[in-house]
Amino acid sequence: MGKTRNFFHLHMVSDSTGETLMTVARAATAQYEDVQAIEHVYPLVRSTRQLDHALDEIEHAPGIILYTLVDPELAGRLEQAARAAGVPCVNILSPVFAVFQSYLNVRLTGRIGGQHALDADYFHRIEALNFTMLHDDGQIPDNLDEADVVLLGVSRTSKTPTCIYLANRGIKAANIPIVPDIPLPRQLGELRRAMVVAVVASVERIQQVRQNRILTLNAGGFENETYVDRRVIAREIAVTRKICAEHGWPLIDVTRRSIEETAAEIMSLYRAHKSALANGGAA
């Protein structure tokens, strides 16, 4: 028998997109076994009317309230309503603001959605995302050296979502599939700036993901039988390891890694790669 899950209502009230709240809430919830949050997200709450809508929902389904509201009047109303309902209410950025203000001795500006400003960093991320989408799955190999990272790997090792995550961090990432008996683009041997890294997973993991993919597509046939054959997958993995050993490219095992963890490892490698280039070392 499966364990019984305990459900609770989790209300997230934000004057911006709510992404910060959701990230913090899910990171916290993940630390508790057999607990599942029923999420209620209220983004772009910037008026009394919008806050009233959130308060009505909270009244009908009481639970923990997390919020990021810059407007002190709206924050005060939310706190007051929480006290009246007898539910916890936390401004998740308040302790961070306090530390910054104390250490830096600067005044809080109270900019709503400041992290989403249309500044140079924002447009750099958009440029990286456009590049990544154009260079997905081995497309347009001619200008690979314009990439920051070139990600290699066999089918179903999460190359595309990893590259998209990197692009959202401002890193131009191209990905190229590794297929035995099909040579890699010659441009890989001509790179001077881009960093090449490969990903690999266990036979069991790749087989499972590929089987799920086939079921999703409702596809069958001999070609798909080969696609999920353990011996074929094992050969693909062996080829990947051999290629990386021959070229000295780093190899990351993503069997038990999330996309975020894989991307974090790649970003760490890329920082070292950039530092080596800046110091005139080998790329």
Which residue matches tokens 């309902």? 85
154 is in an annotated binding site: yes
Please tell me what DSSP assigns to residue 156.
T
Alpha helices in 41-107 (DSSP H): 48-60, 72-85, 94-104
When computed from its CA atoms, the radius of gyration of the chain, rounded to whole angstroms, is 24
159 is in an annotated binding site: yes
Q: Which two tokens stand for residue 67?
A: 């919020």
157 is in an annotated binding site: yes
What type of residue sits at position 263?
A: A
d(CA 86, CA 225): 58
d(CA 15, CA 50): 10
Task: Say how many C-beta atoms besides its own lie within 10 A of residue 182's C-beta.
Answer: 8
d(CA 193, CA 274): 9
d(CA 78, CA 84): 10
132 is in an annotated binding site: no
d(CA 201, CA 156): 9
Q: Which two tokens stand for residue 112?
A: 């709503």
160 is in an annotated binding site: yes
275 is in an annotated binding site: no
Buried b (16+ CB within 10 A) or exposed e, 26-60: eeeeeeeeeeebebbbbbebbeeebbeebbeebee
4 is in an annotated binding site: no
Please tell me what DSSP assigns to residue 202.
-
Closest CA to 262 of 185, 179, 149: 149
240 is in an annotated binding site: no
Q: Give the residue ranges of the annotated binding site for ADP.
A: 153-160
Q: Give the residue ranges of the annotated binding site.
A: 153-160
